């Protein structure tokens, strides 16, 4: 949804997440200016990475998100928001499935600059 498009329907975030057939595959559900809202289903552990160019926000929709940080883990529950500041190494994880929304500038890869097999295709809408 670019800024030039007309209003559309409200976006049910959990319903959108449930449409994704793969874990760890963020899908864009909305955009404001050059910032995107992405939903993702996760389970298990991701890889450590950072985003030197941007802060990153996580909103938990369902389940519990664990974010491993240099000083230890934080646990984020549904209805809670957490911001990982730019440049801070982090690893997302969930015991059982969790559904999240991430907010960050368009163009940010899920693996930061680490690359590798867990890098998801970017800018995929659902």
Is residue 22 within the footprint of its own copies (CB under 8 A)? no
Q: By CB under 8 A, name the one of 43, 44, 77, 106 that touches its own copies.
A: 77
Stretch that binds its own copies, among 18-26, 28-36, 42-50, 111-119 (CB under 8 A): 28-36
Cβ–Cβ under 8 Å, residues 91 and 48: yes
Is residue 13 within the footprint of its own copies (CB under 8 A)? yes
Is residue 126 within the footprint of its own copies (CB under 8 A)? no
Is residue 97 within the footprint of its own copies (CB under 8 A)? no
Rounded Cα distance, 98 and 63, in Å: 4
- Of 24 and 61, which has the nearer Cβ to its own copies? 61
Question: Comparing C-alpha atoms, which of 118, 100, 107 is closest to residue 49?
Answer: 118
Tokens (6 digits) for 84: 């990982």
Question: Comparing C-alpha atoms, which of 16, 48, 50 is closest to residue 124?
Answer: 16
């Amino acid at each position: 949804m670019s800024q030039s498009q007309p209003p559309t329907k409200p976006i049910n975030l959990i319903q959108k997440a449930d449409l994704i057939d793969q874990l760890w595959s963020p899908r864009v559900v909305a955009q404001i200016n050059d910032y995107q809202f992405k939903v993702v289903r996760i389970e298990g552990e991701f890889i450590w990475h950072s985003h030197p160019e941007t802060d990153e926000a996580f909103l938990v929709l369902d389940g519990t998100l664990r974010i491993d940080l240099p000083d230890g883990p934080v646990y984020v529950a549904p209805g809670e928001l957490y911001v990982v500041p730019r440049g801070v190494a982090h690893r997302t994880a969930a015991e059982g499935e969790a559904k999240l929304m991430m907010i960050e500038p368009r163009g940010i890869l899920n693996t930061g600059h680490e690359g590798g097999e867990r890098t998801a295709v970017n800018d995929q809408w659902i």
